Structure formats: C-alpha cells, structure tokens
C-alpha cells in the first residue's frame, strides 16, 4: 500500500542553521505531496504542497521539491529560527484522496 | 480565518463510559477525516466522509467506535464502551474534494480514559 517514510528525530539545530528533513514515499500513480507542521498543543497546519513532479512548494522560507525519480519530497530551510521548533509531518494524498502521514520529525532549534 | 472546531478540548472519563467527540467542519468543505494521534502509533486514519457519506472506516475498531455525519455542519465520533487504550488526541480535518489545497485540522480532543 501507499506509505510515507520520514527521517527519525529529533533534529537539533542552532538558530540560523540549514535544515533538511528527508521524506520518501511509496505510491501508485501520481500522489499529491504535503508538509504539515504541528506546534505543541495544537492541530496540524498545512505548511506547503506540491501536486505534480518537479513542482516546488514553498512557504515561510521552507521549500520542498516533488522528485518522482527518487520518490522524495525533502523539506529544507536555509536559516531556522527558534520559532520553527515543532513536529513536521510529510504526507501524501493518493487516488482515494486519503491523507497518509509519515511518523513525524521533531525539530528543536536552540538560540 | 475559517477553522475546524472540535469539542470538547479535553475529556477525562472512566473505563466503560460512552464518549462523544464533535467536529464542525469549515463551511463548504465536503470531505471530513477523523485521525487519532498517540506517541506509539503516530497519526492513524480512523474514518473519512465525502458529502456526508462514509468512504472508509477500515481504521476504526468497529466493535466500539462509530463515526457519523448527521448533517454537513457536524461530524461525530463515538466510543462505547471506552477503554484506557483509547487514550489519545483525536483530530478532525476538513477539505474540498481531493484535497489538492490541503486539509484543515482542528485543535483536537485529548481523551484520557482511566
């Protein structure tokens, strides 16, 4: 079945460091890909999305490119802030329109 | 901003009691999901609806869980009888059709069964 695999956390960085969180997927057809972010005590918020191969989603300095050849959708940010500390979820929406999540990656940014 | 409203925010109940969680999706959204989040299992899809009709509830323990949409403005998730292993945060999410624009999540109901 369709699935999403994320790198294990926590990812610990100093402020202004470069961030990469790896995400790969397994799916039939052409899924849409998403990154969601969850701050403590809150629900998930859509961070960015890409709906077809080579699309780049971007928001709040975060970027991810839909790579069909490597079935990947890695999240990147050039300079993280303390306020970016949260749990990040990679997800796909398959032909059934179900949203399938990875296990989440906790990011901790220290001043 | 439009939001998905979940009630109650927190619920503590005794084992064996019935629990009902409610969700008000964003007006105009026709797709509603129920997810359960725990440390051990992460985010699990329990059920989802399109235009109020259940499309998939295979992730839900059928003997004790039930999900319904009595109308377009209300989705409910019931557990009867509740068990300690049901303790989790339950999220509702809504969106349009195939979710090309993403789905909006509520703040969740934190359920503790003692």
Q: Each residue of B62-73: pLDDT tens digit?
A: 899 999 999 999
Mean pLDDT, rounded, of chain B: 93
- Per-residue pLDDT at B62: 87
Confidence tier at A1 by pLDDT (50, 70, 90)? confident
Q: Read off φ and ψ for residue B81, nearest 5 degrees.
A: -85, 150
- Per-residue pLDDT at B75: 97
The DSSP-derived string for A53-79 is TT-EEEETTEEEE-BTTTTB--EEESS
Q: Which residues of chain B have pLDDT under 70?
A: 98-100
Q: Which of B42, B98, B104 is closest, CB to CB, to A93?
A: B98
Q: Which of A42, A49, A102 is closest, CB to CB, to B102?
A: A49
- Per-residue pLDDT at A82: 96
Q: What residues in A contact B2, CB-CB < 8 Å? A: none
Give the residue from chain B lying closest to A47, CA to CA. Answer: B102
Distance CA A77, CA A94 (A): 26
Length of chain A: 111
- Per-residue pLDDT at B59: 87
The Cα-based distances of A70 to A54, B1, B8, B12, B16 in angstroms read: 11, 37, 43, 45, 48
**CB within 8 Å: B101 and A49:** yes
Q: Residue A4, SS3?
A: strand
Q: What residues in A contact B56, CB-CB < 8 Å? A: 96, 98
For residue A54, is pLDDT > 90?
yes
| A3 shares contact with chain B (CB less than 8 Å) | no
Sign of the four-CA dihedral A73, B55, A44, B97? positive
Taking Cα atoms as reference points, which of A92, A63, A94 lies closest to residue A4?
A: A92
Q: What residues in B contact A100, CB-CB < 8 Å? A: 45
Sign of the four-CA dihedral A27, A28, A30, A32? negative
**Is B72 exposed, middle or buried (CB count within 10 Å of its CB: 0-12, 13-18, 19+)?**
middle
As beta bridge partners, residue A48 has A35
Least Cα separation, residue A13 to chain B (angstroms): 23
Residue B112 contacts residue B12 (beta carbons within 8 Å): yes
- Per-residue pLDDT at B18: 97
């Amino acid at each position: 079945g369709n699935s999403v695999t994320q790198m294990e956390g926590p990812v610990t960085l100093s402020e202004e460091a470069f961030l990469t969180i790896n995400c790969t997927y397994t799916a039939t057809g052409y899924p849409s890909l998403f990154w969601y972010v969850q701050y403590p005590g809150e629900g998930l918020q859509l961070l960015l999305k890409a709906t077809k191969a080579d699309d780049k989603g971007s928001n709040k300095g975060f970027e991810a490119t839909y790579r069909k050849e490597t079935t990947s959708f890695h999240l990147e940010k050039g300079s993280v802030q303390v306020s970016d500390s949260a749990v990040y979820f990679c997800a796909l929406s398959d032909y059934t329109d179900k949203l399938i999540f990875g296990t989440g990656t906790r990011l901790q940014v220290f001043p | 901003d439009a939001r998905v409203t979940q009630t109650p925010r927190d619920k503590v109940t005794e084992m064996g009691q019935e629990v009902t969680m409610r969700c008000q999706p964003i007006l105009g959204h026709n797709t509603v999901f129920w997810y359960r989040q725990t440390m051990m299992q992460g985010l699990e899809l329990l059920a989802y609806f399109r235009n109020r009709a259940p499309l998939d509830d295979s992730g839900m323990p059928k003997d004790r869980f039930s999900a319904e949409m009595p109308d377009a403005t209300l989705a409910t998730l019931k557990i009867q009888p509740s068990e300690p292993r049901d303790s989790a945060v339950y999220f509702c999410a809504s969106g349009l059709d195939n979710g090309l624009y993403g789905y909006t999540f509520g703040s969740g109901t934190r359920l503790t069964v003692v």
